[in-house]
Homo-oligomer: A and B are copies of this chain.
Amino acid sequence: MIELFNISIQLGKRQVLEQVSLKINKGEFVYLIGQTGSGKTTLLRLIYMDVFPDRGNVIVDSYSSSTILPRHVPFLRRKVGVIFQDFKLLPDRNVYDNIAFALQVIGAPQRTIKSRVLSVLTRVGLHHKRYQMPQRLSGGEQQRVAIARALVNKPFILLADEPTGNLDPQVARDILHLLENINRSGTAILMATHNYDLIRQYPHRTLVLENGNFSREINPEELA
């Protein structure tokens, strides 16, 4: 359902990825690790088609990067939930409206929006902060809003870029618990992370990005 065939991509002067191939099946849970600057975020951006490969082809659901029309990209993105590394919350509206926006975009009726947003807010533990503006939230709270927004329209795959970077270990575990639940109900998950502790506690298939390519898939026990 998600496949990358021999992807190469250059950003600025840097060859970020070189001949990368990857396949994620329906309902899989995959970790993506690798040093700072190794290209994890870039790989995720390729999947939600914010950048396009110089060579190779990205296939997501029925869309292919080499044939997709610009006006179809929004529809692809609605099927893919993204937790951005820098959150990307709309600074001009409150927590509730930020999350609701992802549903308004697909034209969901007001009542569905309300119940879905409130339920997902409860799940990430931010029900009481729903009328706050993002810039008044702590780093961890903002991250949880980002998670809630990615979940709210029940995507078939969730791309999580460092979703626990600003969370304390307890909350991080809670979030991972949440992600596993979602995964169990059929949503595939691709999660870029630096938190090896977490991988050890919740082991899944783990890909290592190194020198612009997947050097290997490793066993969680190997992690330093």
A-to-B contact residues, CB < 8 Å: 11-12, 33-37, 40-41, 85-86, 132, 136-141, 143-144, 161-162, 165-172, 194, 196-197, 224
Q: Are A35 and B165 in contact (CB under 8 A)?
A: no
The residues of B that contact A36 with a CB separation of less than 8 Å are 138-141, 143-144, 166-168, 171
Q: Are B132 and A12 in contact (CB under 8 A)?
A: yes
Q: Are A141 and B37 in contact (CB under 8 A)?
A: yes
Closest CB of chain B to A17's CB: distance in Å? 13
Task: For the complex, give the distance between the alpha carbons of A105 and B156 in Å.
Answer: 50
Known A12-B132, A132-B12, A197-B197; contact A140-B37, beta-carbon cutoff 8 A = yes
Task: For the complex, give the distance between the alpha carbons of A41 and B196 in Å.
Answer: 25
Task: For the complex, give the distance between the alpha carbons of A169 and B11 in Å.
Answer: 25
Picked from B40, B85, B132, B139, the residue with its CB within 8 Å of the CB of A85 is: B139
Picked from B37, B132, B141, B165, the residue with its CB within 8 Å of the CB of A165 is: B165
Known A85-B166, A165-B166, A166-B162; contact A138-B197, beta-carbon cutoff 8 A = no
